[in-house]
């Protein structure tokens, strides 16, 4: 097993866009309410490490393993999608992926024990949601990634929400802020938008898999064609916009709505200019949306720190 294999499996860009951006949001809320002086950087490091293990190694290892066995990654023409491809590139063997996931779970449990000791047993809520999302997304018997709507709403979305809320809760040593919930909801919904784009190149491969991987996008494309796919993405973007409006009103901060609203409209424009049947075009749009998701998290953080 090579270091390169770990790095390829980790997939830094998705982890940066999802978990690390959520941590930035949670951190900014604590600093905005309290100050930098209260931040214990050992705790911040352990939060970052936990997120890296949960998404970068546990979730990705199981997802690569299950998708390879079902066949969807074998058939995928995707550039960014189709898994990390560590198995066909012979960077990591199948049994090694299982070992990576299990050892990573052990490491997360050790970190959780530390946080339980310094904060309390409520940390178990964040632990359970994080492990649930990382495992149930791909693993039997649930394999929620293989079922329309369930993968994002029962795994991906709560994982991003809990990452933002958990970060602010741990760094503030037990304070729960309404802003962390609102920011987490906005970030989680925006993140799912590019997850939908991520699944588009894999539609045919997902439907050929055994069992078929009925992602939301594959299911909608099968039932309603490309128009249905566009409607799903539009729906998630509209929901993101609504959350940003609610957040702006609730927190009396119009800049929250202005920043997220502008970026949502930008993505909507890009989506309508994209030929979804072309892998290269979808990949370019996905990259842009990933960048915009990160910019949105940084922008929301700035509104709270300024």
Cα pseudo-dihedral 198, 201, 203, 204, rounded to 10: -160
Mean local confidence (pLDDT), 191-209: 95
Position 18 pLDDT exceeds 90? yes
- In sequence order, the 6+-apart residues with CB closer than 8 A to the CB of 180 are 25, 26, 29, 164, 165, 167, 168, 169
pLDDT at 1: 56
Q: What are the distances in angstroms from CA 158 to CA 35, 152, 189?
A: 27, 8, 10
Decide: 61 and 99 in contact? Cβ < 8 Å: no
Arithmetic mean of pLDDT over the chain:
94
User: How many CB atoms are located within 10 Å of the residue 145 CB?
Assistant: 26
Q: Write down how long the chain is.
A: 306
Question: Which pair of tokens denotes residue 275?
Answer: 């030929």
Q: Please, what is the Cα angle at 56 between 55 and 57, to 5 degrees?
A: 100
Domain boundaries, the chain: 3-305
Average the pLDDT over 264-268 and give the result: 95
| pLDDT reported for residue 82 | 85
- At 129 the pLDDT is 97
Segment among 45-54, 130-139, 151-160, 254-263 with least mean pLDDT: 254-263
* Residue that the structure tokens 């799912």 belong to: 192
Q: Which pair of structure tokens corresponds to residue 159?
A: 């994982």
Q: What is the pLDDT of residue 2?
A: 75
Give residue-wise pLDDT tens across range 93-114: 999 999 999 999 999 999 999 9
For residue 18, the surrounding DSSP H or E stretch is none
Rg (CA), the chain: 19
Average pLDDT for residues 266-292, to the nearest whole number?
Answer: 95
Question: What DSSP state is assigned to residue 16?
Answer: I
DSSP state string for 144-193:
GGGSTTHHIIIIIHHHHHHHHHHHHHHHTTS---HHHHHHHHHHHHHHHH
- 283 within 8 A of 232, measured Cβ to Cβ: no
For residue range 65-76, what is the model confidence (pLDDT) as tens digits? 999 999 999 888
**Per residue in 228-254, pLDDT tens?**
999 999 999 999 999 999 988 888 888
CA dist., res. 170 & res. 228, Å (int): 41
Alpha helices in the chain (DSSP H): 3-10, 12-15, 21-33, 41-51, 60-70, 72-75, 94-118, 123-136, 150-151, 157-171, 178-199, 203-208, 216-251, 254-272, 279-305
Any idea which architecture 3-305 has in CATH? Orthogonal Bundle (1.10)
pLDDT attached to residue 160: 96
Q: How large is the angle between the packed helices 94-118 and 3-10, nearest 10 degrees?
A: 70
For residue 218, whether the previous peptide bond is cis, meaning omega lies within 30 degrees of 0, is no
Percent of the chain with pLDDT over 90: 87
Grouping H, G, I as helix, E, B as strand and the rest as coil, residue 298 is helix
Distances (CA, A) of 119 to 18, 33, 43, 113, 178: 25, 19, 11, 10, 19
């Amino acid at each position: 097993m090579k270091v390169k294999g770990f790095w390829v499996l980790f997939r830094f860009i998705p982890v940066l866009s999802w978990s690390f951006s959520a941590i930035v949001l949670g951190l900014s809320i604590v600093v905005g309410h309290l100050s930098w002086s209260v931040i214990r950087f050992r705790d911040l490091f352990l939060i970052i490490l936990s997120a890296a293990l949960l998404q970068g190694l546990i979730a990705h290892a199981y997802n690569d393993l299950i998708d390879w066995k079902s066949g969807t990654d074998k058939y995928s023409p995707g550039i960014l999608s189709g898994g990390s491809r560590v198995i066909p590139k012979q960077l990591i063997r199948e049994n090694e992926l299982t070992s990576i996931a299990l050892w990573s779970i052990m490491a997360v449990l050790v970190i959780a024990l530390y946080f339980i000791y310094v904060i309390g047993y409520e940390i178990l809520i964040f632990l359970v949601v994080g492990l649930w999302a990382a495992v149930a997304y791909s693993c039997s018997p649930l394999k929620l990634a293989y079922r329309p709507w369930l993968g994002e709403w029962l795994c991906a979305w709560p994982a991003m929400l809990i990452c933002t809320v958990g970060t602010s809760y741990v760094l503030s040593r037990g304070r729960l802020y309404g802003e962390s919930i609102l920011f987490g909801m906005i970030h989680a919904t925006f993140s799912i938008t590019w997850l939908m784009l991520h699944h588009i190149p894999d539609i045919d491969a997902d439907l050929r898999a055994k069992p078929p991987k009925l992602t939301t996008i594959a299911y909608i494309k099968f039932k309603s064609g490309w128009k249905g796919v566009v409607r799903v993405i539009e729906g998630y973007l509209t929901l993101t916009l609504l959350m940003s409006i609610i957040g702006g009103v609730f927190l009396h901060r119009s800049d929250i709505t202005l920043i997220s609203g502008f970026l949502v409209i930008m993505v909507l424009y890009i989506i309508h200019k994209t030929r979804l049947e072309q892998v290269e075009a979808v990949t370019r749009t996905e990259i842009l949306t990933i960048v915009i998701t990160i910019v949105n998290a940084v922008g929301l953080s700035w509104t709270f720190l300024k």
